[in-house]
Amino acid sequence: MQRLLSSQKVLPYLLILPASLFLAAFFFVPFVQVVLAAFTSDDGFTFTHFRTMADDWKFMPALSNTLGLALVVVPIQITLALVMASLVTRLRRGRDVVLYVFTIPLGISDLAAGLIWFALLEQNGFLNSILYGLGIIPGPQNLLDYRNTAGLFVAVVIAEVWRATAIVLVILVAGLGLIPKEYDEAAEVFGAGPLKRFFLITLPLLRPSLQTALILRTILAFEVFAVVAVVAGNNLPVLMGETYAWQFDLQDHKVASAYAIVILAISLAFTVFFLWVLRDRTREAAA
Amino acid sequence: MMRRKQGTMIALAALTLAFSVAGRAEAQGLLFWSTQAKPVEETQKMRTEVLGGFGKPVDYYGNDAGPFFTRIQAELKAGKGTIALLGGLHGELASLSSDLVDLKDVLSATGDAKINPTLVSLGTYGTAEQKYLPWMQASYVMAANKEALQYLPAGADVQKLTYDELIAWGKAMREATGSPKIGLPAGPKGLLHRFFQGYLYPSYTGSVVTKFRSPEAEAMWNAFKMLWEEINPASTNYGFMQEPLLTGEVWVAWEHTARLQDALNQKPDQFVTFPAPAGPAGRGFMPVVAGIAIPKTSPNVEEAKALAAYMLKPETQIATLRATSFFPVVEVTLPDDMPAAVKMSGATVAAQSAAPDAKPSLLPVGIGGLDGKFNKVFIDTFQRVVLRGQDVRQVLDEQAATLKDIMTESKAPCWAPDKTSEGPCPVE
């Protein structure tokens, strides 16, 4: 035993064994079960569940809403987080306080975040009360009206940006801390302005962090669920909401699994895309 | 290892407890096996305040549907049992109906208690026998802010409203206040599907499944689109109508009695309740009926029948209402110390089911796990026709195909208001 533990060959595997077992039991096994559920029926292999899913009138709206949300939310979050991260790293005093304040939404569950924004935006919400109190509107306005899909979409975007920009910010602040100050100082000596330094020095050196942040946020964006459910109810179907509905309301875990596979496929495609676009080209050039 | 040992110990303790409890039940008088009054406080009240007055010991057990069926089915299969009396919802007792004792003689022995005839006839499941006796009921009713009453159309009686009058009323309120004042619980947590299944469809077509895509149904959806013009668009966010009623966002609403009680209890002088409107085919409503039945394996049928008769006495019915918040099925005068919500909705539930044009429509029977998909048919039809303005005929045809699949898969025969069928309920 003693020898086994001290052996350089075996030790690493022993160390990752618990984590691997955990992943196998709680991620890999359920994953295989989901795949089996999505592609099989009593008669063996089938696409029936995918057909049921695609034939449902809510599938196309759910797909386009989810993609739309991801494509709008993620770029806003990355831009915003870059600005906020640059701001935070430049602060001399109170840096930690500002960082804590920025990351408060990180500590709030997405359901709670949804409820906060619903309380702000609903017909008797805070926004309506303020506007009415200031005499800007004659009476309570229903901002989350089912007829106003664009309004619902914007409300979800605002709530999502507020809720999940902080995670990008944390990754980028860490990434900025890793960039040696000498590059920036050297560029300054050669007369490069702040914008030029940001685009030619900071951004390229930040690529690994950006890659991580993009992949993480995009995958999470395709799983958007609780915020939409609270703010927009049934009026803005998304893929994850439909998965939940098929699993729990309609008690059909096979179609729910088909939805899960679709979400997985989209997430995988985007992950591969980001890995490829943001790959390290300097090494390719050297080779 | 320690953990596992502890787990085993707990499991053993639980088993011992379960056995000793069951053993105790069998040692004492009649075993009343039920799916109702499950929460501990309600079970306790059933035992002491409701069944205490029977004179003989009764052991009341409120179970989840799973254990309820496991035990009674095992006893029926064995041909002898210890359960004397069953209590369950109409849809639950339906699957046991061929193993239940005819209770017609109990009905004639209840003396002057006036039992609601509509509910009594539900208890026959369309046979010549009285399979169960109605025990208690809940339902969905209308509630209105008193502010709204001045806008009622001329000649309309709020207690005998029709859907056309409701539309006219909504229009008058909208024109007077500038915003639609009728509300429906169309949010994710709302029970709007019950409105279509139990109220709109029976009122316009006299059916829920069979005439799903009939010309009457088409006319119904077009009428509902007119009603929707008068409905507060925030309805798609509403879960429990008591909230928008209390804020005044909505003046007139349809809702389950349990989901109105906060509004009625907080401002009893501000609100009135009244039966749901009637359509061309009658006053559709959905009673949630619990019944009492006696299994053929009951160890003491005579005493069980005496207990069933006791449960229908007006005093017992009022005690049951206090214990469970379910309403009486016999005519009673409610005492003054009842909460306002109980008094108001109790009177309305009774009036609604006793209306001359009443058209009771039951919760789906026999479709089991497909309940969610059954509800989706109605909610999808609503969302497509009303919220997205799709063509009524086309949506009905498409959704009817889904409905037909559900009926075929579950093999469920028709339930009220549809006429009983051999085999799965047809969608014409």
**pLDDT tens profile A172-191:** 999 998 888 888 889 889 88
Residue in B with minimal Cα distance to A232 = B237
Is residue B59 within 8 Å of residue B32, measured between CB atoms? yes
Predicted local distance difference test score (pLDDT) of residue B3: 45
Predicted local distance difference test score (pLDDT) of residue A129: 87
Report if residue B356 sits inside a domain: no
Report if residue B237 sits inside a domain: yes
Report if residue A160 sits inside a domain: yes
Same-domain check for residues A109 and A22: no
Is B373 in Cβ contact with A234 (below 8 Å)?
A: no
Same-domain check for residues A36 and A159: no
Q: Which amino acid is at B341?
A: A
A142 touches chain B (CB under 8 A): yes
Same-domain check for residues A13 and A104: no
Between CA A17 and CA A23 the distance in angstroms is 10
Which of B236, B371, B379 faces A146 most closely, judged by CB atoms?
B236
pTM, full prediction: 0.76
Same-domain check for residues A139 and A69: yes
Same-domain check for residues B266 and B367: yes
How far is residue A44 from each of residues A36, A37, B149, B297, measured CA to CA in Å? Answer: 10, 10, 62, 43
Q: Distance (Å) from the C-alpha of residue A220 to the closest C-alpha of chain B?
A: 23
Between CA B55 and CA A94 the distance in angstroms is 77
Q: Distance (Å) from the C-alpha of residue B20 to the closest C-alpha of chain A?
A: 36
pLDDT band at A198 (very low <50, low <70, confident <90, very high): confident
Same-domain check for residues B321 and B272: no
Cβ-Cβ pairs closer than 8 A, A with B, add up to: 49
Interface of A with B in 62-121 (CB under 8 A): none
Between CA B200 and CA B219 the distance in angstroms is 11
Which of B187, B372, B380 faces A233 most closely, judged by CB atoms?
B187
Report if residue B268 sits inside a domain: yes
A41 DSSP assignment: E
Q: What is the pLDDT along chain B (428 residues), one digit of tens a residue?
A: 344 445 444 554 544 444 444 444 444 689 999 988 888 888 998 999 999 999 899 999 998 877 888 899 899 999 989 999 999 988 888 878 889 999 998 888 777 778 888 888 888 887 889 999 999 988 899 999 999 999 999 999 999 999 999 999 999 999 999 889 999 999 888 889 999 999 999 999 999 999 999 999 999 999 999 999 999 988 988 888 999 999 999 999 999 988 888 899 899 999 999 999 999 999 999 988 899 999 999 999 999 999 999 999 999 999 999 888 788 899 888 888 888 888 888 889 889 988 999 998 988 877 766 878 898 999 999 999 999 889 999 999 999 999 999 999 888 888 888 988 888 999 98
Is B249 in Cβ contact with A235 (below 8 Å)?
A: no
Range of the domain at A76: 58-286
Interface of A with B in 28-67 (CB under 8 A): 57-58
Report if residue B401 sits inside a domain: yes
pLDDT band at A146 (very low <50, low <70, confident <90, very high): confident
Q: Which of A26, A46, A66 is the C-terminal boundary of a domain?
A: A46
Cβ neighbours around A235 below 10 Å, total: 22
Same-domain check for residues B323 and B261: no
Tally of domains within chain B: 2
Report if residue A51 sits inside a domain: no
Residue in B with minimal Cα distance to A241 = B188
Q: Which residues of B58-95 are buried (b: 16+ CB within 10 A; e: fewer)?
A: bbbbbbeeeebbebbeebbeeeebbbbbbbbbbbbbbe
Tally of domains within chain A: 2
Same-domain check for residues B230 and B374: yes
Predicted local distance difference test score (pLDDT) of residue A286: 54
- Percentage with pLDDT > 90 across chain A: 47
Predicted local distance difference test score (pLDDT) of residue A283: 63
Is A139 in Cβ contact with B179 (below 8 Å)?
A: yes
Report if residue A52 sits inside a domain: no
- Contacting residues of B for A123, CB less than 8 Å apart: 234, 249
A168 touches chain B (CB under 8 A): no
Q: Distance (Å) from the C-alpha of residue B388 to the closest C-alpha of chain A?
A: 9
How far is residue A282 from each of residues A285, B5, B322, measured CA to CA in Å? Answer: 5, 59, 78
Q: With a cut of 80, say whether residue A216 has pLDDT above it.
A: yes
Same-domain check for residues A116 and A39: no
Q: What is the 3-state secondary structure (H, E, C) of B70-104?
A: HHHHHHHHHCCCCEEEEEEEHHHHHCCHHHECCCH
pLDDT digits (tens, 9 = 90+) for B303-352: 999 999 999 999 999 999 988 878 889 988 888 888 888 888 888 988 99
- Contacting residues of A for B372, CB less than 8 Å apart: 248-251
Q: Distance (Å) from the C-alpha of residue A96 to the closest C-alpha of chain B?
A: 40
Same-domain check for residues B185 and B254: yes
Report if residue B420 sits inside a domain: no
Report if residue B111 sits inside a domain: yes
CATH number at B247 reads 3.40.190.10
Predicted local distance difference test score (pLDDT) of residue B368: 65
Same-domain check for residues B324 and B394: no
Is B249 in Cβ contact with A251 (below 8 Å)?
A: no
Predicted local distance difference test score (pLDDT) of residue B1: 38
Report if residue B344 sits inside a domain: no
Q: With a cut of 60, say whether residue A201 has pLDDT above it.
A: yes
Closest CA to A266 of A112, A42, A74: A74
Which of A57, A122, A250 faces B373 most closely, judged by CB atoms?
A250
Same-domain check for residues A6 and A96: no
Same-domain check for residues A36 and A109: no
Cβ neighbours around B418 below 10 Å, total: 22
Q: With a cut of 70, say whether residue A48 has pLDDT above it.
A: yes
CATH number at A221 reads 1.10.3720.10
A188 touches chain B (CB under 8 A): no
Report if residue B425 sits inside a domain: no
Q: Distance (Å) from the C-alpha of residue A187 to the closest C-alpha of chain B?
A: 56
Same-domain check for residues B146 and B122: no
Residue in A with minimal Cα distance to B239 = A233
Closest CA to B296 of B123, B141, B132, B84: B84
Same-domain check for residues B107 and B199: no
- Contacting residues of A for B373, CB less than 8 Å apart: 250-252
Between CA B247 and CA B263 the distance in angstroms is 9
Closest CA to B170 of B111, B251, B246, B245: B251
Same-domain check for residues A162 and A214: yes
Between CA B51 and CA B53 the distance in angstroms is 5
Q: Distance (Å) from the C-alpha of residue A259 to the closest C-alpha of chain B?
A: 17
Best mutation target among B193, B228, B236 (most A Cβ atoms within 10 Å) is: B236
Q: Which amino acid is at B59?
A: D
Same-domain check for residues A162 and A37: no
Angle between helices B392-410 and B215-229 (to 10 degrees): 120
Which of B188, B236, B249 faces A229 most closely, judged by CB atoms?
B188
A139 touches chain B (CB under 8 A): yes
Same-domain check for residues B52 and B145: no
Q: Which residue has the tokens 């994710």?
A: B188
Range of the domain at B274: 140-286+361-410
Same-domain check for residues B110 and B224: no
Same-domain check for residues A5 and A115: no
- Contacting residues of B for A248, CB less than 8 Å apart: 372
Closest CA to A201 of A174, A182, A226, A224: A182
Same-domain check for residues B325 and B366: no
Q: Distance (Å) from the C-alpha of residue B71 to the closest C-alpha of chain A?
A: 25
Q: Comparing A188-192, A240-244, A267-271, B20-24, which segment has the lowest mean pLDDT?
A: B20-24
Same-domain check for residues A123 and A81: yes
Residue in A with minimal Cα distance to B177 = A139
Which of A57, A139, A233 faces B188 most closely, judged by CB atoms?
A233
Same-domain check for residues A113 and A220: yes
Greater confidence (A203 vs A4) lies with A203
Question: Is residue A166 within a helix (H) or strand (E), and if so which, with residue range?
Answer: helix A149-178
Between CA B70 and CA B393 the distance in angstroms is 44
Q: Which amino acid is at B325?
A: S
Same-domain check for residues B125 and B47: yes
Q: What are phi and psi of B334, to 5 degrees?
A: -75, 135
Residue in B with minimal Cα distance to A250 = B372
- Contacting residues of A for B187, CB less than 8 Å apart: 233-234
